[in-house]
Structure 1
Amino acid sequence: MNFVGRLYERFASLVYELAKFGSIGAIAFLIDFGLLNLCNVVLDWGPLTSKVVATTVSTTFAYLGNRYWTFRHREQNGLGREYFLFFLLNGIALLFGMLAIGFTTYTLGLDDPLSFNIANIVGVGLGTLFRYWSYKKWVFLEATEPIPVELPEAGVKQDR
């Protein structure tokens, strides 16, 4: 019975973490989608330039949301290290989006807004799978010591 309890506990925490990651990702996707279409369709900056601009802004939001909400229970061993790795891995994930958009636009010759957005969604989906895996593996590491769920209330004496 103890094994089943541990299995449930581990699975429940994974589902909770995935839900938080998905929430941040959904908001970052809306930021990316809105800026991408603003830059490409309205400002006519071109599909790949627009993707880089939109991804840079949405990635900054995603870093802050994932660091301080989704993975806050994980080790915090240097903002500089995390930030560098986060943006490096997002740069790799950006390639998925740029390849999908570039292939659709320049190889298939489909440059209408619908085809452009479908290619973006495919690229974002592939990039998201890579990002979740890589964040857990290299950016937001498991805590080496238990992190308290709640801080003690002020004025309350604790046993030492």
Structure 2
Amino acid sequence: MLPELTGFALAGAAAYAADLGLFLWLRGPVGLGPLTAKALSFVAGCTVAYLGNAIGTYRRRAAPATAVRRARQYAVFFAVNLAGAVVQLLTLALSHYGLGLTSPRADAVSGAGIGMVLATCLRFWGTRTLVFRTARRTARHRARRCAKE
């Protein structure tokens, strides 16, 4: 499990750097609005994380992927990452609006601290179990689906 966690963390760090770097560039020299810049940088960060995990961390875990399978994997990966972003926002909203902890420090702790930890746990679980399933799990899923048809 340690090599998997390490690979996931390295892919996440590269994704974070891509997200932050692109966001700052799009907001600064390019002059895009904050939401447009963040949406574009989020997609770029997701793509970097997906590639890092597909080519690195989980490259031996699943059967060889076709272009269609890669597209499905990326769609599920993106959804898992979007769910992680929602967890971070909900953690911040609960702390700020629900608990009344409105200082910048409280926002940083709840959104970038606690929210990030919870979102990372969700992303790790989702990436491991939903995106890069083992070949055995994939075969079992296919067998169940065929039995239903």
Q: TM-score, normalised by structure 2?
A: 0.65
Q: Distance in 2 between matches of 1:66 and 1:57?
A: 14
> Compared with structure 1, are the counterparts of its residues 119 and 33 closer, same or farther at alpha carbon in structure 2 (3 Å cutoff)?
farther
Q: Distance in 1 between matches of 2:10 and 2:121?
A: 14
Q: Distance in 1 between matches of 2:108 and 2:134?
A: 36
Q: Distance in 2 between matches of 1:118 and 1:50?
A: 24
Where does residue 149 of structure 1 map in the other structure? Answer: none
Where does residue 120 of structure 2 map in the other structure? Answer: 128
- Residue 81 of structure 2 is aligned to residue 90 of structure 1: yes
| Larger-gyration structure (1/2) | 1
Where does residue 55 of structure 1 map in the other structure? Answer: 42
Matching of residues 134-153 of structure 1 within 5 Å:
134-144=126-136
* Unmatched segments (≥5 aa) in structure 2: 137-149
Q: CA deviation at 1:100?
A: 5.4
* Unmatched segments (≥5 aa) in structure 1: 1-13, 145-160
RMSD of aligned alpha carbons: 3.4
Q: CA deviation at 1:118?
A: 6.0
SS in 2 for 1:74: coil
Of residues 36, 45, 48, the one that matches 2:33 is 45
Of residues 53, 65, 70, the one that matches 1:79 is 70
Where does residue 20 of structure 1 map in the other structure? Answer: 7
Q: Provide Cα deviations, 1:32-84, integer angstroms capped at 9, x if missing partner.
A: 233344455774723x5443332111001111110111000111452122111
Q: Distance in 2 between matches of 1:34 and 1:115?
A: 25
Q: Which amino acid counterpart does residue 81 of structure 2 have in structure 1? A: N
Number of aligned residue pairs = 127
> Compared with structure 1, are the counterparts of its residues 141 and 69 closer, same or farther at alpha carbon in structure 2 (3 Å cutoff)?
same
Q: Distance in 1 between matches of 2:94 and 2:33?
A: 18
Greater share of helix residues, 1 or 2?
2
Q: TM-score, normalised by structure 1?
A: 0.61
> Compared with structure 1, are the counterparts of its residues 29 and 105 closer, same or farther at alpha carbon in structure 2 (3 Å cutoff)?
farther
> Compared with structure 1, are the counterparts of its residues 94 and 39 closer, same or farther at alpha carbon in structure 2 (3 Å cutoff)?
farther
Percent of paired sites with the same residue: 28
Where does residue 7 of structure 1 map in the other structure? Answer: none
